[in-house]
Structure 1
Amino acid sequence: MRIVGLRRSAILCGAIALAASAFIASADAQNAAPPTPAGASGPSPTKQAVENRRAAYTLIGNSFRYFGAVAKGAAPYDEAEATKRAARIALLAAIPAENFPEGSNVGEPDSKAKADIWSNRSDFEKKLRDFQAHAAELVEVNAKEKGATEALKAAVAALGQDCKGCHDSYKAK
């Protein structure tokens, strides 16, 4: 029985890694500037970066709310739902880092990103790396714990603190 659980965890981790690789490769291909026919126009690279990061943050928030409710005891833990949402968060966590290029500080109302992102780039990038690491940890803890355990709640809290810390520093209210 234990071997089956380990095999399933290994398959899940492999599937997540494969999906993340495919998604990142697809995102890289989508972010490459396609040839545009004469006279054609499309969103500028800056506008596309803003749209990409806003979409990623929206999807991350939608998936993370479930874990917040579970951690507070407001929603029951469901293994399939938690696995799906944790994998989604981990997959999406890589997108923001690629979508804050120089020159994409467009300000409100198009973006709530503060100029401090670009003037304090090393701290911002560290916060993004921490978020990615904690998103991966949530996947691991969920696969191992399979319930609303203290370890899962701690992983949720760590990821939530990453969000709050970045929002406090780099998002306009």
Structure 2
Amino acid sequence: MRNHFQASFLAMTVAIVVGGVIASASAQNAPPPAPPSASKQAVENRKAAFTLIGNYFRYFGAVAKGNAPYDEAEATKRAARIAFLAGIVEDAFPEGSNPGEPDSKAKADVWSNRAEFDRKLKSFQADAQALVDVNGKEKNANDAWKASVAALAQDCKGCHETYKIK
């Protein structure tokens, strides 16, 4: 009985290993998936950038409302990251990057009214840098700091109201 069990176990183990080798070889011979289109990649990039910006900005809203304590190191880190990401957003809206992309929430107005969109984006970038600057000077959540946070929040709101599909 023991030999029969050992033989069955050995046969099953060999079958699993051989099956795994065959499956691995088949997967290696399969063509790699096609890279995403430039339009799809642009949509993915901007969604990622905006998600990160929102995640980093929530802290500032909580501090400004008195729901979280101000921490200079945390504020400095988050402000710098928002300013960096604000620069990336500019590259995430290339011409023709929206048509046919079901995951995009950008309205066609981004491209049909490009000058106004670019103006709003520049304001967002400037206000993101202003938050970095005021945070470095003020060292606490005072009125100047809160005004800078409010300006950046207004940039986000204004652009979303105009250029984002709800």
TM-score, length-scaled by structure 1: 0.75
Q: How does 1:1-173 map to 2 (within 5 A)?
A: 41-106=34-99, 109-173=102-166
**Unaligned residue ranges in structure 2 (runs of 5+):** 1-30
Moved more, 117-126 or 97-106: 97-106
Looking at structure 1, the residues matched to 101 and 32 of structure 2 have their Cα atoms a distance apart, in angstroms, of 29
Looking at structure 2, the residues matched to 61 and 72 of structure 1 have their Cα atoms a distance apart, in angstroms, of 16
Looking at structure 1, the residues matched to 165 and 127 of structure 2 have their Cα atoms a distance apart, in angstroms, of 24
Looking at structure 1, the residues matched to 163 and 130 of structure 2 have their Cα atoms a distance apart, in angstroms, of 24
Looking at structure 2, the residues matched to 114 and 123 of structure 1 have their Cα atoms a distance apart, in angstroms, of 13
**Partner SS for 1:102:** coil
**Unaligned residue ranges in structure 1 (runs of 5+):** 1-37
Deviation at 1:165, TM superposition (A): 0.5
**Partner SS for 2:129:** helix
Paired letter, 1:143: G
Paired letter, 2:41: Q
Paired letter, 1:148: A
Kept after mapping to 2: 8 A contact 1:107/1:114: no
Moved more, 103-112 or 128-137: 103-112
Paired letter, 1:91: F
Deviations 1:28-67 (A, max 9, x none): xxxxxxxxxx986211111111111110000000000000
Report how many aligned residue pairs link the two structures.
Answer: 136
Paired letter, 1:172: I
Looking at structure 2, the residues matched to 79 and 39 of structure 1 have their Cα atoms a distance apart, in angstroms, of 47
Deviating 4+ runs (over 6 angstroms): none
